[in-house]
Amino acid sequence: MAAPTFSWNAITSAQTDAESPIDTTLMEGVRQNLVHLKEWLGDSFTPAVDHDHDGINSKTVVLADSVVSIAKLKVARGSFGASTGGNYYIPVARYSHLPSFNKTGSVYAVQLLLQTRQHLSSGGEVWEVTVQAQIENIEYFCVYWDYHTN
């Protein structure tokens, strides 16, 4: 980012009090300050000159391996499966990924409800995902989700 055309003009309160005239020095200082701001902020609140932190047009920013990549977080998989009907409330960690659902048959309806509810009675935050299966269900279904570990 190139230096602004004009340096900043400090305008004193003595120049703007009710007793002081509006003169050329004051008005030229105001004009140069506006040009300074326009060049510093950019036209229409976008940079007048693009900058990419390469040390030429702005401060250098060095990344660990000079490329931003997907964070390498430890992930584990939780799962729950059944082959009977009823409602199942599956506790999942608060920062889990959305659960996935897999069912082997096509005769009975099994629903995965992504309406979670928070339970604090366990001493910590536990979230539940609800699975509803028809009472007559005999087909195996499985719910699984990924979550972050230490």
| 59-103 pLDDT, tens digit each | 666 666 555 555 667 778 878 788 888 877 777 666 677 777 777
Q: Match 């602004």 to its residue by tokens.
A: 4
Boundary-marking domain end, from 69, 97, 124: 69
Shared domain check, 61 and 20 = yes
Phi, psi at residue 30, to the nearest 5°? -65, -45
Predicted confidence at residue 31, as pLDDT, reads 93
Residue-wise pLDDT for 10-23, tens only, equals 999 899 888 888 89
Alpha-carbon gap, residue 45 to 137, rounded angstroms: 60
pLDDT at 148: 75
Are residue 61 and residue 3 in the same domain, yes or no?
yes
How much is the pTM?
0.40
Tell me: do 143 and 99 sit in the same domain.
Answer: yes
| 145 CB neighbour count, 10 Å cutoff | 19
Q: Looking at the structure, tell me whether residues 144 and 79 fall in a common domain.
A: yes
Reply yes or no on whether the pLDDT at 123 is more than 60.
Answer: no
CB 141 within 8 A of CB 101: yes
Q: Position of tokens 């997907």?
A: 70
Provide the edge-to-edge strand list for the sheet that holds 110-119.
86-92, 126-133, 110-119
End residue of a domain, out of 50, 69, 88: 69
- DSSP per residue, 70-125: -----EEEEEEEESS-EEEEEEE-TTPPPPEEEES-SSS-EEEEEEEEEE-TTSS-
Per the structure block, which two tokens stand in for 100? Answer: 């996935």
Give the chain's domain count.
2
Q: Are residues 98 and 81 in the same domain?
A: yes
Asked whether residue 89 falls in the same domain as residue 136, the answer is: yes
What's the mean pLDDT in 136-142?
Answer: 82
Q: What is the pLDDT of residue 10?
A: 92
- Looking at 35, 69, 103, the residue that finishes a domain is 69
Kindly state whether residues 98 and 59 are assigned to the same domain: no
Query: Which residue segment(s) compose the domain that 113 sits in?
Result: 75-148
Closest CA to 109 of 128, 76, 131, 78: 131
In a shared domain, residues 2 and 47:
yes
Rg of the chain in Å (alpha carbons): 31
Spatial CA neighbour of 131 closest among 76, 78, 85? 85
41 and 89, same structural domain? no
Q: Does 52 lie in the same domain as 12?
A: yes
